[in-house]
Amino acid sequence: MKIKTKFFGEIEVGEEKIINFPSGIIGFEDLKRFVLIDHPGSDVIKWLQSVDDPVISLPVADPTAFYSDYVPQISKDDLETIKVKNIEDAVVLCVITVPADIQKATINLKAPVILNPTRRLADQMIAENPEYRVKHPLPLAQKQEGRCAGC
C-alpha cells in the first residue's frame, strides 16, 4: 500500500509492516496504524509514521543506544495488552524531542513505546522506574555539520 508522509513523500509499505496501536499513542489516541521508517544515514534513529495522517511522524530510538542500562519496569498487565509476557520479548523505543538547539534534545524514558514484533502490536506504556523522566537529556556524542552524530 502507498502512504503519504510529510518528510519522506509517498512511500510503498507492505501490509505486514503496519504496527497496530489499539490505544493510539499519547496525544494521538485516534491514530492506530503506524510504520517504522529508517532515518537516512542513521542506524539509531527511526520515524514512527502514522499510516492515516501524513503529518504525524515521531522520531524514536532504541534507548539503550544512549543509556545502555535502560530497563523499563512495565506491569505484566500492560504487557499483556500487546500479548507480550516479558519486556525481553518486546522491542522498546522511546520518542525523541529535538528543539531548535539540538544540544537540548530529550528522550522520553518514562513512556516508552513497547512493540510486539511478532504480532505487530504496540502501545506507549508508563515505566514504573522513578528515575526515568519524560524529558531525559539526550546525550549527544558530538555535533557534526549542524546535525547530531547518529541522527
CA distance linking residue 45 with residue 24, whole number of Å: 21
- pTM, to two decimals: 0.88
pLDDT tens-place string over residues 18-43: 999 999 999 999 999 999 999 988 89
CATH number of the domain encompassing residue 24: 2.30.290.10
Checking if the pLDDT of 136 tops 50, the result is yes
**Residue 148 scores a pLDDT above 70:** no
pLDDT tens string 68-102: 999 999 999 999 999 999 999 999 999 999 999 98
- Whether residue 145 is contained in a domain is answered as no
Rounded Cα distance between 50 and 33, Å, is 6
Average pLDDT value over all residues in the chain: 91
Confidence grade of residue 143 (pLDDT, cut at 50, 70, 90): very low
Q: Answer yes or no: is 150 within a domain.
A: no
Q: How many domains does the chain have?
A: 1
- The answer to whether residue 144 is domain-embedded is no
